Amino acid sequence: MTHAPLCRSPIVASRVRRIDGQSFAFIHHRFLRDGFFAHLSPTELRLYVFLVLAADRNGMSFYHYDRICAVLEVGVDDYLDARNGLIDKDLVAFDGSRFQVLSLPARPRRVRARRLRSRDDLRDNDPATVRSGMLASLADADDLDAR
């Protein structure tokens, strides 16, 4: 059985994408082919695509976290986890106010969860424990302000 040659012409020729003077975001095919896509959580993937779309030709994006959270419809904790995951996986850089989408590294970086072995590890590195500690200290500050 022979197969017909693959037709590469557009299905809807009048709708071929054009940049027409606009920025043109792209994700390198290696992102899928080499396994970067498969190693991201759903929120990391959403944030990565957002940053790619928002970036200028140097990969720079200047969106503030509250705007990113609103557009992606995620909470701050999920945003922070995704941002830190992308940084740990060497896909983006962040200097506190701006992002840079980086060229892809040679291969996906697998980040293993850190084991929490002591009470201090739990207090300092477990996101839920850190969050509850922050909320408790804010509640204590509110109590002092109310007095």
CATH number of 24-101: 1.10.10.10
pTM of the model: 0.68
pLDDT tens digit string along 54-76? 998 889 999 999 999 999 999 99
What is the maximum span of the chain, computed from C-alpha positions, in angstroms? 85
At 37 the pLDDT is: 95
Cα separation, 109 vs 36, in Å, equals 8
What pLDDT score does 13 carry? 86
Instruction: Determine the pLDDT at residue 114.
Output: 61
Q: Using one digit for the tens of pLDDT, what is the confidence trace for 33-61?
A: 999 999 999 999 999 999 999 998 889 99
User: Pick the residue with more confidence: 146 or 33?
Assistant: 33
Domain boundaries along the sequence of the chain: 24-101, 113-147
pLDDT of residue 122: 66
Could you report the per-residue pLDDT of 73-130, keeping only the tens digit for each?
Answer: 999 999 999 999 999 999 999 999 999 999 999 999 877 656 667 777 666 666 666 5
Cβ(6)–Cβ(80) below 8 Å? no
Residues 6+ apart with CB under 8 A from 76: 65, 69
